[in-house]
Amino acid sequence: MNTLSVKFELPTIVASQAGLNLENINQEVKLIFAMFLYEHKRISLSKACEIGGTSQWDFFEANRLLKIPIHYTPDELKKDMERLSGV
């Protein structure tokens, strides 16, 4: 997969006020960006987990903490069940 590196400046006080972990800021920002795109139905759940660098369960928990609804369709459930049946 081709990737794009994005850099921007964020005042430390803003990061602290937002509750971001300053020691792991890159990962936190990637996860929040993935959550934003997912919440606005711009990407799928699996793509959000990939971008956010997290498992579905951890992604679900992060969304729950921020009260972001999970969009999980019956079709996605069917695909997951098919994948699990092969395990």
CA 28 to chain centre: 9
Please, which pLDDT band fits residue 26 given cuts at 50, 70 and 90?
very high
**The model's pTM:** 0.77
Is residue 45 a contact partner of residue 56, using CB atoms and an 8 Å limit? yes
**pLDDT band per the 50, 70, 90 thresholds, residue 49:** very high
Mean residue pLDDT of the chain comes to 90
- Position 11, amino acid: P
